[in-house]
C-alpha cells in the first residue's frame, strides 16, 4: 500500500509539473498492430509503452523491442535501471494468446507494469501526454493558484490486463483496468468455434492461476459476461497492485526501505547524523533490491540480446 501511495505523488497536476522539468523524446515502431513506444526523459531515462490493440505477432515484436531497449549501447547517463524495465500499458485488449506470451516474458523480466496516463502522437509526430478539457489547480500557500491541463487516463482491458497482472510490481493509480474481453463468447452450437473459445478460456484460467490470482476472482472474471465494459473500481485495482510473491520473498533479506516520513527526514532532519544514517540505509536497500532483481532475472538479458526468446 505504501508503494502505491508514494507513486501517487506524481499524479495529476504534480505529474504535469514534473514533466515540464524533464524534456521527453519518444520513438516508436511501425503502427501495424500494437505500438511499442520508447519514452525517454532527462530525469529517469528510457522505458517502454505498449499502446493499441494486441494482434498476432505482437509478442515477437514486443520481445524484439524490449531486447533493443535493455541492451542499447547508448542508454543515457541518468538511466534508472528500474525505469528501464517498466512497461506502461494503454490498450483495449486483443489477442489473448499473444498477451499471455508477452505476460510470461514480463514476469520473467521482473518488469514493473503501470497503467496511468495516456500518451498520443501529436501533429508533429512526437508522442506526449494527451490533454483533456479540464484543468487541475494547485494551491500555492496563499498566492495565486497554478492551473494545468489535466491528462487523459490510460485504460488496460481484456488481453492487456493479462500483461499488467504479470508485473513484478503493478501500478494503476490513475488508469483504468477492465476485465471485459478476457474470454470469447461463442454460440453453444458453434462447433469448432465453441471448442476454441473453451480452450482459450482454460488457457487464461491456467495463466492467471500461475500468476497467483485467487480462484474466486478468476471464476468471476471468466464467467459468461453481459455486454458492455466491466471496469474494476479503486479497491479492486488497489488489491491487484503490489509485488509478486517472488519479489517480496527476495526483498525480505534487504534492509528495510525508508518510510515516507523517513524519506523526508533524510533530507530535512536537523541532525546531519540522522540524515546520513537514513541515506546510507536507502542506498543499501536500493543496492540489495537491484541485486535481488538481477538474481530473479537470471540470464534473460543475455538471451534477449541473442535473439527471440520464449519465457514461457
pLDDT one-digit tens code per residue, 132-146: 888 888 776 667 778
Quote the domain boundaries for residue 39.
Answer: 2-181+225-243
Question: Looking at the domain assignment, is residue 230 inside a domain?
Answer: yes
Nearest to 293 by CA among 237, 231, 229, 246: 246
Q: Is a pLDDT exceeding 50 seen at residue 293?
A: yes
The H or E element that residue 207 is part of is: helix 192-210
C-alpha cell at 106: 514480463
Chain centroid, CA 134 distance in Å: 25
Q: Identify the residue whose cell numbers are 542506498.
A: 283
Distance CA 24, CA 43 (A): 9
Q: Residue 14 maps to which CATH number?
A: 3.90.226
Distance CA 51, CA 302 (A): 26
Is 91 within 8 Å of 103 (Cβ atoms)?
no
Is 48 within 8 Å of 70 (Cβ atoms)?
no
The packing angle between helices 96-108 and 192-210, to 10°, is 20
Question: Looking at the domain assignment, is residue 154 inside a domain?
Answer: yes
3-state secondary structure of 108: helix
Question: Looking at the domain assignment, is residue 47 inside a domain?
Answer: yes
pTM: 0.85
Distance CA 44, CA 232 (A): 30
How high is the pLDDT of residue 189?
Answer: 54
Q: Give the tens place of pLDDT for each residue, 203-225.
A: 999 999 999 999 999 999 998 77
Question: Looking at the domain assignment, is residue 300 inside a domain?
Answer: no
Question: Looking at the domain assignment, is residue 250 inside a domain?
Answer: no
Q: How many domains does the chain have?
A: 1
* DSSP summary character for residue 67: H
Question: Looking at the domain assignment, is residue 190 inside a domain?
Answer: no
Question: Looking at the domain assignment, is residue 21 inside a domain?
Answer: yes
Q: Give the tens place of pLDDT for each residue, 237-264.
A: 999 999 999 999 999 999 999 999 999 9
Question: Looking at the domain assignment, is residue 288 inside a domain?
Answer: no
Amino acid at each position: 500500500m505504501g508503494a502505491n501511495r508514494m507513486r501517487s505523488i506524481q499524479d495529476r497536476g504534480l505529474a504535469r509539473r514534473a514533466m515540464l522539468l524533464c524534456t521527453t523524446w519518444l520513438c516508436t515502431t511501425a503502427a501495424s498492430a500494437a505500438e511499442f513506444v520508447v519514452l525517454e526523459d532527462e530525469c529517469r531515462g528510457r522505458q517502454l509503452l505498449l499502446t493499441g490493440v494486441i494482434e498476432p505477432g505482437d509478442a515477437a515484436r514486443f520481445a524484439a523491442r524490449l531486447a533493443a531497449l535493455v541492451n542499447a549501447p547508448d542508454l543515457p547517463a541518468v538511466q534508472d535501471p528500474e525505469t528501464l524495465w517498466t512497461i506502461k500499458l494503454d490498450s483495449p485488449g486483443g489477442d489473448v494468446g499473444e498477451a499471455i506470451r508477452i505476460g510470461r516474458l514480463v514476469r520473467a523480466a521482473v518488469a514493473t507494469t503501470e497503467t496511468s496516463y495516456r500518451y498520443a502522437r501529436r501533429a508533429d509526430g512526437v508522442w506526449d501526454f494527451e490533454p483533456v478539457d479540464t484543468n487541475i489547480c494547485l494551491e500555492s500557500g496563499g498566492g495565486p493558484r497554478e492551473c494545468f491541463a489535466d491528462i487523459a487516463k490510460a485504460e488496460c482491458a481484456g488481453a492487456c490486463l493479462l500483461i499488467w497482472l504479470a508485473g513484478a510490481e503493478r501500478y494503476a493509480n490513475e488508469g483504468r483496468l477492465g476485465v471485459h474481453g478476457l474470454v470469447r463468447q461463442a454460440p453453444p452450437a458453434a462447433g469448432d468455434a465453441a471448442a476454441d473459445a473453451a480452450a482459450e478460456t482454460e488457457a487464461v484460467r491456467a495463466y492467471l492461476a500461475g500468476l497467483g490470482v485467487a480462484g474466486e476472482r478468476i471464476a468471476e472474471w471468466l464467467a459468461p459476461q453481459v455486454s458492455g465494459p466491466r471496469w474494476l473500481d479503486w479497491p479492486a485495482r488497489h488489491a491487484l497492485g503490489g509485488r509478486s510473491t517472488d519479489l517480496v520473498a527476495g526483498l525480505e533479506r534487504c534492509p528495510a526501505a525508508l518510510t515516507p516520513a523517513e524519506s523526508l527526514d533524510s533530507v530535512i532532519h536537523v541532525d546531519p547524523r540522522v540524515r546520513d544514517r537514513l541515506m546510507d540505509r536507502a542506498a543499501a536497500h536500493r543496492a540489495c533490491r537491484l541485486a535481488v532483481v538481477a538474481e530473479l532475472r537470471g540470464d534473460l538479458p543475455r538471451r534477449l540480446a541473442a535473439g527471440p526468446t520464449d519465457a514461457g
